[in-house]
Amino acid sequence: MFETLKKDIQVVFERDPAARSTLEILFCYPGFHAIRFHRVAHWLWERRMRFLGRLVSHISRFLTGIEIHPGAKIGSGLFIDHGMGVVIGETSEVGENVTLYHGVTLGGTSWKKEKRHPTVGSNVIVGAGAAVLGPITVGDNARIGSGSVVVEDVPPNTTVVGIPGKVVYGRRSENVALVNLEHGNLPDPTSEAIRCLLDMIHDLQREVRELKKEKPSEVRSDSPLG
């Protein structure tokens, strides 16, 4: 238990430059508190003490503003920054060393009693206000931009932005992965597509102008009056 507590504290120091002391983390970090509550709630849930598990989860929600269902499976090293409004559903699975910002939802898209929430791999970062919905898989080392809505599987080592979320491939995606916390540097695939269309229109306009310049001479040479 003490080893787990020590690791949870170390995770905060590693990922939040505002953390100044262990005492501050123990008393002033709702994300840290929510994870500690969840460990108790999940322990009760796994031993079929479902009501007590839900009660502990509800108390945690009231105190921290973070709702983690006691049935959710949470790996070690989870860091919830700020945390207000974070929701993690019952059948969610979260890997190791995952970072969630405030307003993140790992939600379901079905009323059936089945796997209906996401599976998030290890070393994943989910930006503020993002929603990952349904029984989809987010691969290891993926990045989900702030405000994105993800409803399809995310391959490992990629970045997703937009509504609905679109995967950004290639060198730009790798650069973004290195940025980690600077969500303002995430690319926008929609604006890039529009930019490509504008470039194509510009090229077509140039070709039309060139054809118009050539046409009069062609008419004169082929004209029966010439």
Least confident of 2-11, 46-55, 67-76, 216-225: 216-225
Q: Which residue has the higher pLDDT, 103 or 162?
A: 103
225: its two tokens: 């009056």
Report, as an integer, the average pLDDT of 100-119.
92
Instruction: Quote the domain boundaries for residue 111.
Output: 2-187
CB 138 within 8 A of CB 144: yes
CB 133 within 8 A of CB 108: yes
Do 163 and 78 lie in a common domain?
Answer: yes
Please determine, for residue 215, whether its predicted confidence score (pLDDT) is greater than 70: no
Do 217 and 182 lie in a common domain?
Answer: no
Do 149 and 74 lie in a common domain?
Answer: yes
Do 223 and 135 lie in a common domain?
Answer: no
Task: Kindly give the interhelix angle for 30-46 and 2-15, rounded to the nearest 10 degrees.
Answer: 140
Q: Which residue has the higher pLDDT, 223 or 14?
A: 14
Which pTM was predicted?
0.75
Do 164 and 201 lie in a common domain?
Answer: no
